[in-house]
């Protein structure tokens, strides 16, 4: 997150919450918080996580329901074995594919512009399995001789929780409406719905969440969105799994989806060279 426009008081309070020293200039404190975010990820920005009794997010978009199915209780995931997963390739979702032939979607698209993310411990455990993220297939960390059906990752526990996380909120004062000065930002707390999984090999629950990089008007100036579990299905084949034969080493990668615009601008300006090295005419 960008802490550079926060007040010194807010920076001090946030550093104290994280049990860090509060010495230095505003830029140094901001850089320290940013570095902590980079190292600890969502663990750094989480204030608390409380398990819910209900399984549905507070608000559900009917469009998202039509795309990915009705919301279902997360306990249905218990004892399923993960053989493959896909994160944020086409949509802000985490798709889990199971040994049983079922699959499910954890949908993070309630908040416009959000992407789905994983707590560090959950991500670390899931990387044992072959997976696809942002259009790139990565072979699991296990060598081929251990990549047998018994090496699938079993879900021991699953839950829905309400998490409180810090977020950046722009502050627009009347004096800055017609000014070119940078707006200030405040560190606020947002409540959002997350889905927790405890996999075999993990000693505690870790969570799936949704977030936008920076607050926008389209997202209602929120940074954290709700996630939900869409229904278990049997009609979705595991994508790209056959392509892993081309990846010879553990953690090797292969691009299967190129993300970007299909609209191409001219290769160069007149007088320059094209991407093939030919003169522009």
Are 153 and 18 in a shared domain?
A: no
Are both 36 and 53 inside the same structural domain?
no
Q: Which residue has the higher pLDDT, 88 or 261?
A: 88
Same domain, 212 and 166: yes
pLDDT score of 230: 86
- Tell whether 103 and 190 lie within a shared domain: yes
Q: Are 214 and 227 in contact (CB under 8 A)?
A: no
- What SS3 state is found at 251? coil
Q: What's the total number of domains in the chain? A: 2
Residue 267 lies in a domain: no
First to last CA, the chain: 46
What is the domain extent for residue 233? 46-173+180-255
| 27 and 130 assigned to the same domain | no
Both 94 and 199 in a single domain?
yes
Q: Whole-model pTM?
A: 0.80
For the cut 60, the answer to whether the pLDDT of residue 209 exceeds it is: yes
- Per-residue pLDDT, 13: 96
Output 204 or 244, whichever has higher pLDDT: 204
pLDDT band at 48 (very low <50, low <70, confident <90, very high): very high
- Domain match, 15 and 131 both: no
Tell me if 202 is assigned to some domain: yes
Tell me: do 92 and 149 sit in the same domain: yes
pLDDT at residue 233, rounded to an integer:
81
Please check whether residue 271 lies inside any domain of the structure.
Answer: no
Question: Based on the domain organization, do 218 and 193 belong to the same domain?
Answer: yes
Q: Which two tokens stand for residue 12?
A: 């001090």
- The answer as to whether 281 is a domain residue is no
20, 59: one domain: no
Tell me which of 163-172, 208-217, 236-245, 271-280 is least confident. Answer: 271-280
Across 183-205, average pLDDT? 94
For 43, the enclosing helix (H) or strand (E) is helix 42-45
Query: What is the Cα–Cα distance from 7 to 15, expressed in whole angstroms?
Result: 12
pLDDT 10s digits, 145-155: 444 444 689 99
Are residues 53 and 26 part of one domain?
Answer: no
Same domain, 105 and 4: no
Residue 273 placed within a domain: no
Is the pLDDT score of 156 beyond 80?
yes
Q: Looking at the domain assignment, is residue 64 inside a domain?
A: yes
Instruction: Count other Cβ atoms within 10 Å, centred on residue 128.
Output: 19
């Amino acid at each position: 997150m960008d802490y550079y426009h926060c007040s010194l008081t807010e920076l001090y309070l946030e550093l104290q919450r994280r049990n860090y020293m509060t010495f230095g200039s505003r830029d140094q404190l901001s850089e320290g918080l940013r570095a902590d975010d980079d190292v600890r990820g969502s663990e750094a920005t989480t204030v608390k996580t409380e398990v819910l009794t209900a399984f549905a997010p507070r608000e559900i978009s009917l469009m998202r329901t039509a795309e990915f199915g009705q919301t279902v209780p997360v306990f249905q995931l218990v004892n399923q074995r993960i053989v493959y997963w896909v994160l944020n390739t086409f949509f802000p979702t985490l798709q889990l594919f199971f040994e049983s032939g079922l699959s499910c979607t954890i949908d993070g698209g309630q908040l416009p512009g959000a992407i789905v993310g994983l707590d560090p411990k959950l991500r670390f455990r899931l990387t044992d399995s072959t997976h696809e993220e942002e259009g790139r297939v990565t072979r699991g960390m296990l060598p081929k001789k251990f990549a047998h059906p018994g090496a699938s990752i079993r879900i021991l526990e699953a839950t829905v929780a309400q998490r409180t996380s810090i977020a950046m909120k722009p502050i627009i004062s009347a004096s800055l409406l017609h000014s070119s000065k940078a707006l200030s930002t405040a560190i606020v707390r947002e409540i959002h719905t997350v889905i927790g999984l405890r996999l075999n090999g993990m000693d505690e629950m870790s969570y799936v969440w949704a977030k936008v990089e920076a607050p926008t008007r389209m997202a209602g100036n929120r940074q954290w969105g709700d996630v939900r579990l869409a229904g278990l299905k049997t009609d979705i084949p595991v994508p790209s799994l056959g392509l892993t034969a081309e990846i010879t080493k553990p953690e090797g990668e292969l691009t299967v989806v190129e993300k970007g615009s299909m609209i191409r601008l001219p290769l160069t300006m007149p007088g320059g060279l094209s991407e093939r090295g030919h003169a522009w005419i």
